[in-house]
Structure 1
Amino acid sequence: MVALVAGAAVVASAAVGGCGSDSGKKLTHPPYTVKSIQSGFVTVKDIGKGAVQVQDSDHGSHVIYTPPNSVPTCPYVQRADNITVAVQPDVEPVGGNSTGRFIVGPPNPEQSSLPVVTQGAVVFTTNALADTGMKAVLAESAKCPASFTILGGPPIIVGDYKINSRAFKSGGWTGFAQQLAHTAPPDLGTTTYDDLTTVVAHKANAVIYFSYAEIHKIGQRADSSAKAEKLAKTTLGRLG
């Protein structure tokens, strides 16, 4: 299955030069700008040989679409069939400037062990606006259910979704890491499942996110959370 990476498919022909730095050194400090935040983004070298980078074109034809200027709160929940509380999959913070959404990963996630990383941020003119934006993100993410089911739609998204969330802290950045695992119905005969962790963090005048998606064989451990948090700490370290 590739539900959690299909909406952000990486194509070699669309590869672009990267945001982010290949250096592990701190490159900037608050107050942040769109360009300085982009300097901390995940690069192809962070992911591994064979990775490429693209910018989300915002064409809206994704299996699950959210605006590039939004921050994820509960991915895929807009397709859920069995939730009792209204939950939004993302929040578009007021008063911020988007960095755009950038995707780093293999050209074909089904034929590679590399993850797909989707990343973006919203940069505000003041810390107070960023605080308000992050509070809105936290409030919506807190509504995300522990599980939900998608019964209809493209086969790659049908199935059961399990969610775990915990606090995230690194170098003054604070937020949460939310892990989501998707398994398909048994009658589809699928031998893999999707493992996605999204880290959302706030510091000073910026709110940033990284979504780390992998495909595992049934029976393998869902380990995207540890990998995503380690990668987030590395890249956030560039931002000071």
Structure 2
Amino acid sequence: MAAGAALVVGVAAGCSGAAPQPLAKPPYTVSSVRSGLVKPADLGKGAVEVEDGDHGSHVVYTPPNSIPTCPYVQRSEDVQVAVQPAVEPVGGNPTGRFIVGPQRVGPTSLPVVTQGAVVFESDALAGNTMSTVTAESAKCPEAFSVLGGPPSVVGDYKVGSRPFELNGWKGFAQHLVHTSPPTMNPDTYDDLVTVVVHKANAIIYVGYAQIKKVGQRADTDQKIETLMSTTLARLG
């Protein structure tokens, strides 16, 4: 999931060992929030960044101004409860959606990060929107299947969610594991964690996806927390 400007971290004058100062603080703007999003340098050598265009040719499409709640559920035929894959907020200014990852994706590649944010005129409006997003995400079933469609999405999905809090940002982390049918792709599985957090007048989402070989431990949940401890520190 776009090239960011070089970041300059301030250090308190006369204190060479002082902790880095955040690049932004509330109230947030679209540009200040973008300064804290994941950069290619955060993932490592070979990472590139592109902006996600607003087109419906994606395998799993959601509008780029939306906030994710239950990825891939719109492809499922066996979900018993009506649940939306994303919420389109009213009254917010989106940053756009950006993808940071390797040029080629595979089991041994860097992760793929899909991220964006929505900035609101007031803390209250952001808080109300976060409540809506959290309520919708709670409807996401613990398991569902995709029976038809592109081979990359067919298979079984297991979903778990937990509260997430870091640097004053609060929300949830949703862990999704996708396994393909044995006849299609028996050697790997998809390990995806989506974090949605709110602070002051902004809501940020970050999706961290890895392709893992069957038998490898699912560790995306830990890796995204390490990554966000770095990125959210840029947003005071």
User: Structure 1, unaligned stretches of length 5 or more?
Assistant: 1-7, 9-15
TM-score (norm 1): 0.91
Whether contact under 8 Å (1:106, 1:112) holds in the other structure is no
Q: CA deviation at 1:232?
A: 1.4
Residue 67 of structure 2 corresponds to 71
| Larger relative contact order, structure 1 or 2 (CA cutoff 8 Å, min sep 6) | 1
- TM-superposed deviation, 1:110: 2.0
Shift of 1:19: 5.7
User: Which SS does the other structure have where 1:93 is aligned?
Assistant: coil
**2:15: which partner in 1?**
none
Q: Does 1:215 align with 2:211?
A: yes
| Higher helix residue share | 1
Instruction: Spell out, residue by residue over 1:145-167, the C-alpha distance to the aligned partner (whole angstroms, 9 max, x if none).
Output: 10100000011100000011000
Find the counterpart in structure 1 of residue 146 from structure 2: 150
Q: 1:137 aligns with which of 116, 124, 133?
A: 133
Q: Is contact 1:22–1:45 with CA below 8 Å preserved after alignment?
A: no
Q: Tell me which residue corresponds to 2:170.
A: 174
How many matched pairs? 226
- The superposition leaves residues 154-212 of structure 1 with CA deviations (integer Å, 9 ceiling, x where unpaired) of 11100000011000001110000011000001122431110000000000000000000
Tell me, in whole angstroms, the C-alpha distance in 2 between the residues paired with 1:48 and 1:143.
35
Any conservation in 2 of the 1:148–1:161 contact (CA below 8 Å)?
yes
Change (3 A) 1:96 1:231: same
Matched, 1:121 2:117: yes
The one-letter code sitting in structure 1 at the alignment partner of 2:93 is N
Show the counterpart of 2:198: 202
Return the offset for 1:18: 1.8
CA distance in 2: counterparts of 1:108 and 1:65, whole angstroms: 21
Amino acid at match of 1:29: K
Once the 2 structures are TM-superposed, how far is the Cα of residue 230 of structure 1 from its aligned partner?
A: 1.6
Contact 2:93 2:119 in 1 (8 A): yes
Q: 1:50 to 1:235 in 2, by over 3 A?
A: same
Paired-residue identity, %: 62
Output one character per residue of 1:42-100: Cα deviation in whole Å (capped at 9) or x when no partner: 00110000000000011221000001100000000001121110010000111100000
Q: CA deviation at 1:25?
A: 3.9
